[in-house]
Amino acid sequence: MAVRYRTTQQRPTAYRHSGRAWLIYLYSLPFLFAALSYLLAGNTGRFGLTLAIFLTMLLAARLIGQGIRNRREFMQRTFAVKKSPPLIALGSLVLAVAVFLAAWLVAGDGVLTAIGFSAAAAIGVWLWYGLDPVRPRGADNVEPEVQNILAASERRIEAIEKARDAIRQAELRQRLDRISRKARDVLALLAENPERIRQSRRFLSTYLEGTENIVRKYARTHKKITNQELESNFREVLTSIEDTFNRQYEKLLSSDVFDLDVDIEVLDTLMKKQGLG
C-alpha cells in the first residue's frame, strides 16, 4: 500500500535550468541594440516600437523565470494544496505578442507569417521550459479524511514559511527551514503509512498549530521592537520545537507511540513565560 510521495520522480526539462529564462533575455538583446540605433538615427517612432518590444520580452522572461521557481518549489512539496498562477503560460503568451509585433511591424513580415513566428515562440517556451503544474499534489490513494488532515498540515507549514520570510535573523530563518523540512518529512511518512495518522493527530493539530502561531507572532513583533531577550526566548522555543519534530519523526519510523502531552505543556509554558503565546 505504501506509495512514495517524495520528490524522486523524473523532473521535467526545466529543472535543469536556473530560475531565470536566460534564453529569452538573450533573445531580447538585438531589439535593445536596434532601439539604440533608431534613437541615434533620430527615428523616434521606430525607437519607441523596438523599445516596447524589448521591454515586453523582458516581462515575458521575468514571468517565465518566476513560473519555473514556483514550479520547482511546488514539486518539492509532498502536499501542495495551493497552486501558483500559471506564470509560464502567461509569459509564453506575452512573448508570443512581442514576437508577433517584431515580425509584423519591425521585420515587415505578413500577418500570417508573424502569427506563425509567435506560435513557434510560445511552443518553444513550453518545450524547453515545460508547463505550469495543473493540479494540487497529494496522497491520492488515501481516504478523504486523511487527505484533509495532511492538507491542513501543509497549509500550516506554508504559513510558517511565509512568516519565516519576514524574519531578518539568518540563524532563526535557518532553524525554521529545518523545522519546515522535518515537518514535511513527517507528512511524507504519514502519506506512506496513513494508519499512523491517529498516532500523530495531536502533533499535527496542536503542536504544528502552536508552532505556526509562535512564528507568526514573532515575525510581527520583531519588526516593531529590537529586543535581544525576545530573540533569545524565540531561539529557545525553536530549539524545543525542532527537537520535538525530530523525535516525532524518529518515533514514527520506529512505529512507537509518541505521547506529546508533556511537550505540549512545555510549549505552552514557554509561550506564556516568554510573551510569545
Over residues 119-131, the pLDDT tens digits come to 999 999 999 999 8
* Confidence (pLDDT) at 7: 37
Please give the mean pLDDT across all residues of the chain.
80
Tell me how far apart the alpha carbons of residues 43 and 225 are, in angstroms, rounded to a whole number: 56
**Alpha carbon distances (Å) from 218 to 161, 182, 245:** 13, 21, 19
Q: What is the pLDDT of residues 200-257, one digit of tens each?
A: 777 787 788 888 888 888 888 776 666 677 788 888 888 888 888 888 888 777 765 5
The H helix count followed by the E strand count for the chain is 10, 0
- Asked whether residue 45 carries a pLDDT value surpassing 70, the answer given is yes
Quick one: which of 111, 146, 130 has its CA closest to 14? 130
Mean pLDDT throughout 40-53? 94
pLDDT given for residue 76 in this prediction = 67
The span from the CA of 249 to the CA of 138, in Å, is 19
Please list the alpha-helical segments (H only) found in 76-207.
87-101, 111-129, 144-164, 170-192, 197-202
The model carries a pTM of 0.60
Cell of 201: 493527530
pLDDT, position 168: 83
Domains of the chain by residue range? 13-129, 144-273
Task: List the grid coordinates of 277.
Answer: 503565546
Residue 6's pLDDT band, with cuts at 50, 70 and 90, is: very low
Q: pLDDT value at position 251?
A: 79
Higher pLDDT, 227 or 261: 227
The pLDDT tens digits for 74-113 are: 776 666 655 678 999 999 999 999 999 999 999 999 999 9
**Is residue 142 very low, low, confident or very high in pLDDT (cuts 50, 70, 90)?**
low
Residue 46 has pLDDT above 90, yes or no: yes
Quote the pLDDT of residue 87: 93
Higher pLDDT, 245 or 45: 45
Q: What pLDDT score was predicted for residue 256?
A: 59
The pLDDT, as a whole number, for residue 253 is 78
